[in-house]
């Protein structure tokens, strides 16, 4: 019996060695490492062991910022590219999903995530790209970022280097970035390099958890008027309200379908779909694009005693926003709002 046991053991070991050898010899195969790193991060070898909301506080809001076609990139290193203040308006959008020179359906290998693998519009062997994505957030209770890059990368959050991995193999990491996410505009910046050829792709998923908290954004009721006088008895009067773009906030990141003003929704809707129309223009003539809405007074909760009005909504990334401006309600009978 002992001889039989030893024979089976020898066969199993030989089989395992053969499989491992074949895996190393497969042409074009990409080595994927999952190894524990420093105490501030965790790397998982089993996708089922990672649940993004497992440690979220009760009744908290969980927002995901993922790699997708909105990621901007350049192949040229420009000073300050990793900072929030950098202007990437001339950069190109990535291709998503993309495996570079490999199958575009290649998975991002980020477990339980909708993050897409992305790369440049003109993939090449041994290519390096500088990728950025800005997003709006409130101060979180916790924030983590999952990153997968084939092959090597530097990861920055708001200009701070979070991880530098240059071992020449595709790797997946999870890092705690709670102390780096700030109220307002944030940026994820990744220098990614196809160091040893083969496939090219990067993917990330930022998970932000915390008690629901709206980012305060600048709004202007009745742009161009001061004070903001409104005839409180004209229920059919239409009130224009603009969300303004500033150095700290990009109004075009707001999902216009989520915006309400004192309980009212955009009065201009598409006749076919019934969805609110989107109005973008530079209402304050400062050279950037603002978002303009129109609300019927009778649909709002404003009264003749109101002194301020509140606009609420969400960005396309799911971050709640809120803006407040003063109003002067005047009883003019029927007439203009």
| pLDDT (mean) for 327-337 | 72
Residues 6+ apart with CB under 8 A from 249: 136, 184, 185, 215, 217, 218
Task: Determine the pLDDT at residue 337.
Answer: 53
CB 107 within 8 A of CB 288: no
Give residue 212's pLDDT band: very low, low, confident or very high (50, 70, 90).
Answer: low
Q: Which of 42-51, 64-73, 241-250 has the lowest mean pLDDT?
A: 42-51
Name 270's Cβ contacts closer than 8 Å, sequence gap at least 6.
Answer: 276, 277
Query: If 0-12 CB within 10 Å is exposed, 13-18 middle and 19+ buried, where does residue 6 land?
Result: exposed
What pLDDT shows up at residue 333? 60
- For residues 74-78, give the mean pLDDT: 97
Q: Quick count: other Cβ atoms within 10 Å of Cβ 323?
A: 26
Kindly list the domain boundaries of the chain, sorted by start residue: 28-210, 215-330
pLDDT at position 207 is 93
What's the order of all strands across the beta sheet hosting 72-74?
92-93, 72-74, 128-137, 184-193, 152-157, 160-165
What pLDDT shows up at residue 26? 34
Overall average pLDDT of the 185-193 stretch: 96
Backbone angles phi, psi at 5, to 5 degrees: -60, -45
CA atoms within 13 A on the CB side of 24: 6
Cβ–Cβ < 8 Å for 88, 72: yes
Percent above pLDDT 90 for the chain: 64
3-state secondary structure of 251: helix
User: What CATH number should be reported for the domain whose range is 215-330?
Assistant: 2.60.40
Q: What is 1-60 written as a DSSP string?
A: -HHHHHHHHHHHHHHHHHHHHHHHHSTT---EE-----TTEE--S-GGG--TTTTPPTT-
**Tokens for 258?**
């989520």
Confidence at residue 149, expressed as pLDDT on a 0 to 100 scale: 95
Q: CATH topology for 28-210?
A: Jelly Rolls (2.60.120)
Q: Cβ contacts of residue 190 below 8 Å, gap of 6+?
A: 130, 131, 132, 147, 149, 153, 154, 155, 156, 202, 204
What would the two tokens of residue 217 be? 């954004």
CA distance linking residue 45 with residue 292, whole number of Å: 48
Q: Where are the alpha helices (DSSP H) in the chain?
A: 2-25
As given in the structure block, the two tokens for residue 262 are 């004192």
pLDDT for the residue numbered 214:
82
Average pLDDT, the chain: 82
Q: How does DSSP classify residue 138? A: P
Tell me if 28-210 shares its fold with 215-330: no
């Amino acid at each position: 019996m002992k001889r039989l046991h030893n024979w089976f053991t020898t066969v199993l070991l030989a089989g395992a060695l053969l499989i491992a050898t074949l895996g190393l010899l497969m042409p074009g195969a990409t080595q994927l490492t999952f190894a524990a790193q420093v105490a501030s991060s965790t790397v998982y070898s089993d996708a089922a062991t990672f649940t993004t909301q497992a440690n979220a506080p009760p009744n908290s809001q969980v927002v995901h910022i993922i790699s997708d076609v909105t990621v901007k990139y350049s192949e040229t290193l420009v000073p300050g590219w990793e900072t929030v203040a950098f202007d990437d308006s001339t950069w190109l959008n990535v291709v998503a999903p993309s495996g570079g020179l490999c199958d575009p359906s290649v998975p991002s290998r980020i477990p339980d995530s909708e993050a897409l693998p992305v790369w440049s519009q003109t993939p090449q062997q041994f290519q390096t790209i500088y990728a950025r994505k800005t997003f709006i957030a409130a101060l979180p209770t916790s924030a983590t970022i999952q990153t997968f890059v084939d092959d090597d990368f530097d990861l920055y959050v708001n200009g701070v280097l979070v991880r530098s991995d240059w071992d020449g193999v595709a790797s997946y990491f999870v890092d705690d970035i709670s102390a780096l996410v700030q109220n307002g505009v944030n940026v994820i910046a990744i220098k990614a390099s196809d160091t040893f050829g083969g496939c090219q792709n990067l993917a990330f998923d930022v998970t932000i958890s915390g008690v629901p908290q709206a980012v305060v954004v600048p709004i202007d009721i009745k742009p161009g008027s001061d004070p903001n006088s409104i005839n409180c008895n004209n229920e059919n009067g239409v009130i224009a309200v603009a969300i303004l773009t500033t150095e700290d906030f990009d109004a075009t990141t707001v999902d216009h379908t989520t915006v309400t003003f004192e309980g009212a929704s955009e009065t201009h809707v598409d006749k076919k779909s019934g969805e609110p129309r989107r109005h973008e223009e530079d209402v304050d003539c400062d050279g950037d694009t603002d978002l303009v809405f129109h609300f019927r007074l009778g649909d709002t909760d404003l009264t003749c005693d109101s002194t301020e009005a509140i606009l609420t909504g969400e960005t396309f990334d799911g971050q709640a926003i809120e803006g407040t401006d003063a109003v002067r309600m005047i009883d003019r009978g029927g007439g203009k709002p």
